[in-house]
Chain A
Amino acid sequence: MKIYIVVNLVLLGLLALYAVHLFNSLVARRNEIKNAFAQVEVQLKRRYDLIPNLVAVAKGYLAHERETLEAVISARNAAVVGLAAAQAKPGNAQHIAELGQADAALSSAVGRLNLTLEAYPELKASQNMQQLSEELSSTENKVSFARQAFNDAVMAYNTLKQSFPAVLLAASFGHRDDAVPLKFADTLAIKSAPTVSL
């Protein structure tokens, strides 16, 4: 009889230990996601801060391309608003989707501007412009690497909370919904057929 009780107590203790461990891992993974998203935001913010500089440098050379420049500025301002909304309510899927669209619009506006710049070799060769385009391309890379890291963190969290036996407990620990991976400009670009102009 005594042995029976002891065995049960030990089993209960092990279960409790597992529950504590699971609770802590879930919290750690969720915080990793938050941190990774903060990193994405930091890099997006940096990108939006750099774009007015790009426009300022280009303005002097591109007097008759005002439309292109204005399109970049308005797309940038829309993206800043989207980023602020997403930061105010972290994890809100709708805001993230809106930010994704605004960012995609900005990317295509900057892409058009870059195409225009091809026609101005002296602008491209200027010291300011070289520095700026290095900073911009580095920031673009950082945005995409930060997204890669964010999506990896989301995958680790979802795998943990969906696997057995964690799936039995995760909901009662307050981890009801799966985290959503980021879908940004690329998703839209992949869905639309590539256009080649000659």
Chain B
Amino acid sequence: MNFFEQQHQARRKTTQLVNLMILSVLALIVLTSLPFVYTGFEDYLNGTGSLRDALMAMAVIASLISGVVVIGGLLKYRELRAGGKVVAEKLGGRLINDNARSLDEQRLMNVVEEMAIASGTITPAVYLLPDETINAFAAGLTPENAAIGVTQGAVRLLTREELQAVIAHEFSHIFNGDMRLNTQMVAVVHGLLVLGLTGAYILASQLKIESGKKRDLRMVLLGMFIGLVLCAAGFAGNFFANLIKAGVSRQREFLADASAVQFTRNPQSIVGALKKIGGQGSSIRAARAGEFSHLYFSAGVSNPLSRLFATHPNLSERIRRIDPQWDGNFAPAQAGSSPQV
């Protein structure tokens, strides 16, 4: 399979997953509002109420619920909208545009400029991260405020061609608008979490026993019911939305690998970089690394629930997609490193 076909396949799977996400959020909202309007539909079926009333009630409840999700999502989106430079500085990066201190840094800048020409985008801000492992990331919602970060280890351990492939991979994330897509998905996931938290809050406030106050048992039960439904829907939705989000993220990695081959026309360079990561590890130490895990070249934070929630596909699978004849051996790890895939 050539790289154009691989890109096409990754794009098609992304579309399917995003559609699945939209459909499931809509279905979740409808399902959540059903218990509240149950009586309305019962009245209609018994002939005592009209269908219009039942649908109206449903619309009101559904818009209340989606309101909570949308507000939660928008809050998170606003927080994440910060440009790539902010992300790079949070991860401890140092800007090296026009400020290269060594031959290695100048080489990195040159490679970035080459890839900007190859992909037809403008040269982004380039940051060097202090980590000795091999990794890189791209951040920022538009090409204009994008930033690329590369670890010290990547600059030191990769050959010029391999570094070029890693940078081309990051340019693909900028070029294909992956940061925007990912931020939107994070916002949806967060909106569902807020829904669940709202439910949990209502539930907890009903359970709190206040002495000296007599309360209507039916009201308490109703409140608990509302809280329980919102809580279950929110947390279940959050769980599945996270699964879908991770699936999309993995497809975008395949897309970026295939685009790296397109920009460099050199499949062996990206395979070489991936093999070295297999031997050397790619973890990023910065305290806030987890927040930005979807941006990295290779998994920056290990995830206990691993495969289902992984933002990056398995290294071996990524290598095999580009080089089906691979024998399964990573480049030898260097002394003092902890291999982490």
Q: Are B103 and A145 in contact (CB under 8 A)?
A: no
Q: Given that A141-B114, A145-B114 are known contacts, is A134 also in contact with B107, CB under 8 Å in the complex?
A: yes
Q: Give Cα A149–Cα B111 distance, bound, in whole angstroms.
A: 16
Interface size class of B (residues with CB under 8 A): 10 to 19
Q: Are A148 and B107 in contact (CB under 8 A)?
A: no
A149: B residues at CB distance < 8 A: 117-118, 120
Give the interface SS of chain B, mostly helix, strand, loop or mixed: helix
Does A104 touch B at the CB level, under 8 Å?
A: no
Within 8 A of A (CB), among B170-212: none
Nearest-neighbour CB distance to chain A for B11, whole angstroms, equals: 19
Q: Inter-chain contact count A-B, CB under 8 Å? A: 34
Does B110 touch A at the CB level, under 8 Å?
A: yes
Give the interface SS of chain A, mostly helix, strand, loop or mixed: helix
- Looking at A138, A141, A146, the one whose CB has the most chain B CB atoms below 10 A away is A141
**Scoring A residues 104 to 128 as 1 if CB is less than 8 Å from chain B, else 0, what string do you get?**
0000000000000000000000010
Q: Give Cα A141–Cα B116 distance, bound, in whole angstroms.
A: 12
B131: A residues at CB distance < 8 A: none
Q: Give Cα A145–Cα B107 distance, bound, in whole angstroms.
A: 16
Q: How many A residues touch B, CB cutoff 8 Å?
A: 15
Q: Give Cα A109–Cα B265 distance, bound, in whole angstroms.
A: 26
Q: Are B117 and A145 in contact (CB under 8 A)?
A: yes
- Looking at B107, B110, B114, B117, the one whose CB has the most chain A CB atoms below 10 A away is B117
A43: B residues at CB distance < 8 A: 117
Does A142 touch B at the CB level, under 8 Å?
A: yes
Q: Are A142 and B113 in contact (CB under 8 A)?
A: yes
Q: Give Cα A145–Cα B164 distance, bound, in whole angstroms.
A: 12
Q: Give Cα A97–Cα B218 distance, bound, in whole angstroms.
A: 89
Does B142 touch A at the CB level, under 8 Å?
A: no
B164 and chain A: residue at smallest CB distance: A141
A-B contact pairs, 6 of them (CB 8 A): A131-B103, A141-B110, A141-B164, A142-B117, A148-B265, A149-B117
> Top 3 closest A-B pairs, CB basis?
A138-B110, A145-B118, A145-B117
Give the interface of A toward B (CB within 8 A): 39, 43, 127, 130-131, 134-135, 137-138, 141-142, 145-146, 148-149
Give the interface of B toward A (CB within 8 A): 103, 106-107, 110-111, 113-115, 117-118, 120, 160, 164, 263, 265
